[in-house]
Amino acid sequence: MHRTALEMFGGLAKSYERTLDLATLVQDRYWKRWIADNAALSRGDRVLDIGAGTCLLEERLEGSGCEVMGLDLTEEMLSAGRDKKLGCVKLLVRGDAEYLPFREEAFDVVVSCYVPKYVELVAFAHEIARVLKDGGKVALYDFVRPGGPWLAVLALYLHGGMRIAGFLLSLAGNSAATTFRNLPRIVEGATWQERLPKLLARTGVRTVKNLKLTGGVVGAYSGKKSGESLT
Ligand SMILES: C[S@@+](CC[C@H](N)C(=O)[O-])C[C@H]1O[C@@H](n2cnc3c(N)ncnc32)[C@H](O)[C@@H]1O
């Protein structure tokens, strides 16, 4: 998965934000607002964004009075984020969500967009809980395997719309083609929304919300570290 992520995002950094708007039919803006609202940030909070990419979420957090550290596997994505020179961003580091290079209880809030489907969930849950302070909050979202009453529409979007977009982009030699070709397979296997809340609960992070947005295109989770593990 690490290799797939690097292949998908290494060459995509420059066109990532346009590609994201296309792939999510501009819904990403609403999902990022969900994160900003549900992370319930306070001035002075130290925030970790796992898989920060080009710092789209950080653009929304400008003026919030928070200090954000962003981590990502792909240097090209981080470099696009650095070019934005956002005041709230204190540090952008290359690193792996499964081995966070931060000390215990370093953050008040952990946020993450589109990462759970790429990572080993036991390590991801453990690392989130480890770097969160007691009472700290986590808010994240990602694509989930299509299901529910909108299954037919979601499957058409995933296997029809995205594949056709991938094919057309590859004909045009566009770097986003790899993303659209890989995403349907990865999203079909995305079962994180059932597993991650249980794994987080074992490490002392209890679920506040775990729901689906936009008819089930993405799952959105928020939680709070209580310090008591539920093993
Ligand atoms: C779809 S992009 C999302 C970027 C940003 N969070 C956003 O919402 O625009 C997914 C990001 O996750 C990063 N990523 C994937 N696996 C990762 C891992 N194991 N550790 C850290 N970052 C990872 C990729 O490099 C990529 O930048």
Nearest CA owner, ligand 1 atom 4: 53
Q: What pLDDT does 229 receive?
A: 56
* Ligand 1 site, residue 115, Cβ cutoff 6 A: yes
Distance 199 CA to ligand 1 centre (A): 20
Determine which helix (DSSP H) or strand (DSSP E) holds 142, and give its type and residue range.
strand 132-143
Q: Does ligand 1 lie within 6 Å of residue 125's CB atom? A: no
For the Cβ of 129 lying below 6 angstroms from any atom of ligand 1, the answer is no
Asked whether 34 lines ligand 1 (CB < 6 A), one says no
pLDDT digits over 90-147, tens only? 999 999 999 999 999 999 999 999 999 999 999 999 999 999 999 999 999 999 987 7
In the 3-class helix/strand/coil scheme, how is 143-157 assigned residue by residue? Answer: ECCCCCCCHHHHHHH
Please report the domains of the chain, with CATH numbers, ordered by start residue. 2-13+23-145+190-224 (3.40.50.150)
Q: What is the pTM of this model?
A: 0.93
pLDDT of the residue at 153: 76
pLDDT at residue 205 in the model: 97
CA distance linking residue 60 with residue 62, whole number of Å: 6
What pLDDT does 112 receive? 98
Q: Among 33, 58, 72, 117, which residue has the most ligand 1 atoms within 8 Å of its CB, making it the best to mutate?
A: 72
92 lines ligand 1 (CB under 6 A): no
Tell me, using a 6 A CB cutoff, whether residue 165 lines ligand 1. no
Q: Residue 172: what pLDDT?
A: 64
Find out whether the beta carbon of 72 lies less than 6 Å from any atom of ligand 1: yes
pLDDT at 227: 64
CB atoms within 10 A of CB 205: 28
Residue 138 three-state SS: strand
* Segments of the chain with pLDDT less than 50: 231
**Measured in angstroms, how far is the CA atom of residue 186 from the centroid of ligand 1?**
14
Is 24:85 a contact under the CB 8 Å cutoff? no
Q: How far is CA 135 from CA 42, 140, 157, 220, in A?
A: 13, 17, 39, 20
Q: Please give the pLDDT value at position 111.
A: 98
